[in-house]
Amino acid sequence: MIINGTTLIKAKPINPMAADKRKKHGVSYGLSEAGYDIRINQTITLHPFRKFALASTYEDFTMPNHLVGIVHDKSTWARRGLSVFNTVIEPGWYGYLTLELVYHGWRPLRIKAGSGIAQIIFHQTQNPAEYSGKYQNQPNKPVAARDSRIDGFVSQFDQGVSA
């Protein structure tokens, strides 16, 4: 079941949480019809030659043990060639969400801090759960992959975040 409206506001998975739809830099954020539109915390400029960036959310999350959140693209950005990876926000997870952004366009794209960047759809779980993984309590900045050595390979993004 999708959790939205006043039920989502009462669950308080996000702080601060706007109880209505608002706009900043021409892109909406806040409570939407089916979920919540989150904001980006940093100004990001993407180019055809720099197609990947990490960014964090303006909002701080404290996920109740009965909710899971799924991150989806906002159509405003998708129509400009930006994809936001569809991250799962586990029940019991807390911290600032790190977003993985990929740009598919052919000219520079600037995303201003405070702009709506993605939509979270919240689902109720059948049974309460508690996340206890390596990304718990992320700070208010982009967090690079942790323990990402896969078969001896370390990606270029593991050396630091330059968003």
Sorted by where each starts, the structural domains of the chain and their CATH numbers stand as 2-133 (2.70.40.10)
What is the block-wise mean pLDDT of the chain (163 residues), using blocks of 10 residues?
96 96 94 97 94 97 98 96 95 97 96 97 97 94 79 47 40
Alpha-carbon 143 to chain mean position: 12
pLDDT at 147: 72
pLDDT at 19: 93
Catalytic sites, residue numbers = 100
Type of residue numbered 30: G
> Which regions of 80-124 does DSSP assign to beta strands (E)?
82-84, 88-89, 94-103, 109-111, 116-124
Burial class (CB in 10 A: 0-12, 13-18, 19+), 71: buried
pLDDT at 146: 85
pLDDT at 150: 55
pLDDT at 162: 40
Does the pTM surpass 0.75? The reply is: yes
Handedness of CA 45, 36, 22, 98 (dihedral sign): negative
Question: 3: which DSSP letter?
Answer: E
- Ramachandran angles phi, psi of 6, nearest 5°: -65, -30
Q: What is the pLDDT of residues 39-63, one digit of tens each?
A: 999 999 999 888 999 999 999 999 9
Residue 162: which residues within 8 A CB-CB, separation 6 or more?
none
pLDDT at 49: 86
Candidates 107, 20, 11; CA nearest to 66 is: 11
pLDDT at 148: 55
**CA distances from residue 50 to 47, 56, 160, 162 in whole angstroms, order as listed:** 5, 18, 15, 11
